[in-house]
Every structure is written in C-alpha cells, then in structure tokens.
Amino acid sequence: MKKIIFSILTLALLVLLNSCNKSAEKSGIGNLAIKVTDAPFPIDMVESATVTITKVEIRKAGDGISDGNPFIVLLEDTITFNLIELRNGVVDELLAMEIPEGKYNLLRLYVEEASLKIKDGDTYKVKVPSGQQTGIKIFVRPEFYVAGGLTTELLLDFDLSRSFQMIGSFSNPHGINGFHFKPVIRAVNNSTAGRITGMVTDTSLVRLVNAQVWVKQDTVIAETYTDTLGHYAFIGMPAGEYSIFATKENYDTVNYSGINVVAGNRTIKDFMLTHK
C-alpha cells in the first residue's frame, strides 16, 4: 500500500513541482506542503492502523463566514495512510500545491474511514460520519504564514494511542473486540519547528526496543516508542523548553528537564535505563 501511495505521490509531485517552478515568481502565491506522521503506541499486537482521507480544506486567519465560502479546498481525493508505518520521524506526503499567500490557522480534514488490523486476529473498520460530512477541525497555533514564491511545510501528527481506543482484553489478539476512533491530531508549522532524537539503552549499552519516551511542557505533548534499534524521534516540535522521560517495563524511569528545542535544529538526548 505504501509503495503504491509513494508511486502515485511521486508522479503527482513531479507534475506539481514542474508547474511550481514555472510559477514560483507569481505575485501573491506561495507553496504549501502538508505531511502526515504519528505519535505511536505499543504495536505488538497491531499489524496496521489506517485512516482514509477524502478532502482537506484550509482557512485564512481572520476570515469569517459572511462570504459563505471562507475555506480553500486543497484536496479532493481518496488517500489512505497506515499510521503504523509513520513512526519516529517517518512522514508521508498528503499534498503539495500553490495557495494564496497569507496567514492561516485552521484545517478541516475529512476522514471517511479508520481501520485496525490485529496480528493473528481480525480487521475492524469504523465509518467516521462527522469526519465525512463536516470535517475534523484542526487549529494551528500559532497561525502560520505562507509567503509568495516560498514553501511552508505543515505537519499533521496523529496520536495513534489516543485516536484508536481499543475495546476488550489486550492479553491476546483474540480478546480485542474493536475500537473507538476519536482522532487526536497535532498540527505544527514544520518550517519553524525543531526535533528531538536519541537512543535508549540499558547500563550495558544494549539498545532497548519498545521503550516508552514522552515529552512534556506542562502537559504531555507527544509520546513514542523506540524502534528495533532503540532509536526514537519527535519531529515538528515548536521551539521552546521541554522535559523528556523514558522508561520500559522492569526498568526505572529517567527524565531530563530544560531540554531546549531550537527551530530548524535537532536536539539529541540519549537515555540509559537501570534494570529494577
């Protein structure tokens, strides 16, 4: 599925980029790219978690509804993303196009369907009526500016663990009876954001798989789990100061405060966990 998406997107992007290059000097027109990623949850029993998007709209900051059409349609197509594959800094392109320059602060994402496939178990699907009819509102704070002739990149970060709320017993795959889909999506101006990356090991420097890592700034901003190499990444982090935590079953929790994220830069923070 992902290879097909990338092939289609690659062809579309080549056409878009060619047309963008020819029109880059147009007055009052800038470029917007929207990418999708995920703040994942433990996926030991989950084979795939997909969302199908059919339409995307955007609204200029300050626009009301008096004109009856304050939103600009960015996409009317059917695209499916497997959020399991979008982990630890991996992104996939949703769209890339020219839009009028100006400040924007609100997206509407129309989600037709969500699906969860359990390893050695069933596949569950749910329709998203409100997501199809009125769209899911995603506010971008602070608002972002699209400048003429330049590209602004917006990141949509799906929080998989809170968006897919599983039902039943999780002791084995056959104990899962379905899920509730309540999308939790963080929108970030990736052009002015930074990232936090690092490794999680034990005291013998063995890399720990599926160690939980989360970032806080008063409340939890995002969480993830290390990959098979013990690596984690948080992308699209607004500039500022954070606290970061890491733990794993049968290990102590380690945390660091005062982690400074600078726009456009990478902050590296490694963890060494002590076995209980």
pLDDT of residue 203: 96
Confidence of residue 60 (pLDDT cuts 50, 70, 90): confident
Residue 163 class from Cβ within 10 Å (0-12 exposed, 13-18 middle, 19+ buried)?
buried
Task: Please give the residue that has the higher pLDDT: either 2 or 238.
Answer: 238
> What are the tokens at 106?
């609100």
Among 212, 204, 203, which residue's Cα sits nearest to residue 232? 212
Domains of the chain: which residue ranges? 2-183, 193-273
pTM: 0.72
- In whole angstroms, what is the distance from residue 250 CA to residue 142 CA? 40
Confidence of residue 10 (pLDDT cuts 50, 70, 90): very low
Residue type, 270: D
* Sequence-ordered list of residues with C-beta below 8 angstroms from that of 38, at least 6 positions apart, any chain: 83, 84, 86, 87, 157, 158, 159, 160
- In whole angstroms, what is the distance from residue 52 CA to residue 43 CA? 20
Taking the alpha carbons of 12, 139, 148, 155 in that order, is the dihedral positive or negative? negative
Helix (H) or strand (E) holding 268: strand 266-268
- In whole angstroms, what is the distance from residue 158 CA to residue 115 CA? 14
Judged against a pLDDT cut of 90, whether residue 241 lies above it is answered with yes
> What are the tokens at 152?
């602004």
Q: In what order do the strands lie in the sheet with 92-100?
A: 92-100, 29-39, 151-159, 185-189
Helices (H), 110-190: 129-133, 160-163
Digit-coded pLDDT (tens) for 184-210:
888 888 888 899 999 999 999 999 998
Tell which CATH architecture fits domain 193-273: Sandwich (2.60)
Beta bridge partners of 255: 245
Number of C-alpha atoms within 13 angstroms, CB side, residue 122?
Answer: 10
pLDDT of residue 1: 40
Helix (H) or strand (E) holding 96: strand 92-100
- In whole angstroms, what is the distance from residue 237 CA to residue 262 CA? 9
Digit-coded pLDDT (tens) for 117-157:
988 888 999 988 777 788 899 998 888 899 888 889 999 98
- In whole angstroms, what is the distance from residue 249 CA to residue 251 CA? 5
Bond into 129 cis (ω within 30):
no
Judged against a pLDDT cut of 50, whether residue 42 lies above it is answered with no
